[in-house]
Structure 1
Amino acid sequence: MHRILRFVWVFALVGGCGCDGNGSSSDAAADSGGEASDDGAADGEAGGDGAGDLADTGADADADGDACSGTGALGETCAGDCDCAAGLRCLGLPGAGTCSTPCTANATCVAGTVADCATPFCELSLGACRCRCLGPEDCDGRPCSLNYCVDCTTDAECAATSCGEDTPRCRPDTASCTCGGTCGDGACDDVETATHACPLDCPAPCVEGESHPWSCWDGTLVPWCRCVSGAWVCEADPAGACPGDTECQRGGGQCVPDAGSCIEGTILAEPLGCAGASPLCCRSETCTGPGASYYPGSGRCCPGLIALSSLSPMEGMLSGGRIACMVGCWALTCAPCGDGTCELHLGENFCNCPRDCPAPDYGLSCELGDSDCGMPYCRMEGGICHQVTPRCASGICERVSEEFPGRACDCATRSCVVR
């Protein structure tokens, strides 16, 4: 037997390693027009000082020392809304809440709604006003990734980091430089440990029956690794199950008639199944890393990363200016979705990666169907598989939450399956 709960979308459950929801909060039920829970564990990300700096999620969230006793100023860390001055809300990812100006439209975010920021805007993924960076000039020379100031976005930006025999790496969850190798080299490094994105190198521990998907060139998820006897067992060629008539296409390339038709990529030495009128395989020789994007047919994500659609919260796309999950373009962005950390700076949000990203406490609307409400997902909690499916009901987004004792979370199908 399983239990079904139906409620208006307020919070998205946070997933853990792969589909394992370590320390996940329970589903919250609330009316979309009512007051959400103020426990600070499921709001959006803190804006911080300056141009959208990523908050330190390891910091003590209660700057006043005594939860719900102060009246913190704009930008001050907090543990609940009553820690903030009138008109402000305690908004932020778990452990990183700050007293912020809540918003559901850019018109709300005028000068003064974000500390030390002349050009604030409404970050719908947070439900809060925050500062926008447009380039390194807004970040004291550091990279600007999706309007967030970070220490790095690519491994190349960490080239100056001394790593001895190892390779300088950009750790996606903290956007900071560290040292490590590559997925498949047999060594479980700092990046792989943090993101849980390479079960090949980090085979244990895992939840029995849990799965870790392979992300195909078009965003399709297929089986890759499954937990057996407490350790990951992985397919040698997961891309073989991806869509495509040839090995070239299944690997993210295209069969072309001549070199001049290979616009994005290079002609590989092997045709990989290409023949006839299009005998050449045009494919990028390198995979796409965290936070980088590509168009289907011209790339593929590096092992362990998930190709996310541009599905994100947008205002004004529905009648009455209501907010819904909408696709902005056809490009796919590679991110470690499923690692338990919401990496907004890499393109994750509660619409395209609800396993990691908690939703703001405003309600989502819908007109076109369930897709307006985001993606389904599943997670493991002990021996119980939790499956969450967004649905459109009379113009309001709801979630159907089901519990399946004894089943396993299959990330490829985003559903609970019989072991």
Structure 2
Amino acid sequence: MKNSTHKSRHASLLAVAIGSIFSANSIAGPHGYDLHNTLSPASGGMAGTSLARPQDVTSSVFGNPATLTQFKGTKFSFGATFYMPEVELTHDGSITGTAFSEDSGTDIFAVPNTGITQDLRGLGIPATIGLGLTAVSGIGAEFRGDPGSLGAGAEFIILGVNAGLGYEVSNNLSLGAAATISFAELDLGLSSTSAATHDIGLRATFGATYDSGPTTVGAYYQTELKHTFDNQVQTSATSYASPEIEQPANIGFGIANDSLMGGNLLLAADITHKFWDDSKFWQDVYDDQTVFSMGAQLTSGNWKYRIGYGYGDDPTDTGTTGPIGGISQVFSNVGPIPLNQGVTQYIQATQAEVIYKHRLTVGFGYQGFIAPPIDLDVQFGWQFAEDRDYGTGNLSGGGHTNAETHSWHTGFALTWNL
């Protein structure tokens, strides 16, 4: 009876730790859990490639702001992408006390894609302004369907409103800057030790492009995006912690060329480096990450056919030992529990398994859909299954928890050209 009571108490405490300390952004996208235009209307069909010559206004507003000068007149785009993550978790019971195998119960996420650009050349200003709304990062996972998981599951969503300006310094060189005002909501799922809270953040993006004719190169830098969730986690009988979570700074470089097939074939490639290891909270879970993407677009009459491939390395920090975000323990009505190495690794497996490496995308566009000034863009994407073991345990791969993940997405947008 004594051993049974001890195990029950340990399981209850662990459930509190898992649900209280970590936001479930675990299965979002190829850039850790940031999106970076991978779900945008046209760029989504080119694996997110968009830093030199984006093919939709949303990708310009939320990517390299210097590319805004490439859009003339007035353009308004409205659409959405539907994203479905899948993850299967297997645990040997050494951490939770009960072995289990469970699929995530997360449903499809709808990601808005709205953008507008206005050319200012009619006013004698060689510039274009842009505004937009989309989800910039976040997603969710939950394994509450199996009691052995101890209720692991939560959700973290960040919506971004962007305002940007691209300025044409010369016929070849453009510079740009953008500001992101974000709204982040964190729901940890256990009302007894945490609460659903939100915060507003601010980020800046700076970029440049150089167009030499058939070839355009672009580069950009994004600052960190910080959110503080007040009194989110209970750490003792009388105190609460307010975790500070930073989306990492990013630096990217892109190149695009349309010299083939009479200018009808556009080839493009991007490389992005994400500074996870320097961002508060995530530096205890992830290492820096580099992501490559390449895409092609063939224009034939009113049709545009797109394909893309992307590769991102696994950002999992294999040397993590805890604590996370400076929080060394959480508290419940049955007492405190430390965030030791075993618990931290289990959290990585259940709610931070962004281990995708390969993604393949296709898409198409049609100019003059419904009416001459209205264009249609459609995209589909698949992130191939990956799996890995976490910690040391009794599974066949040598770990105590194994996560296998894959995902798919599809989306569309209508763009009015005025």
Q: Which has the higher contact order (CA 8 A, sep 6+)?
A: 2
* TM-score normalised according to structure 1 size: 0.21
Give 1 or 2: higher helix fraction: 2
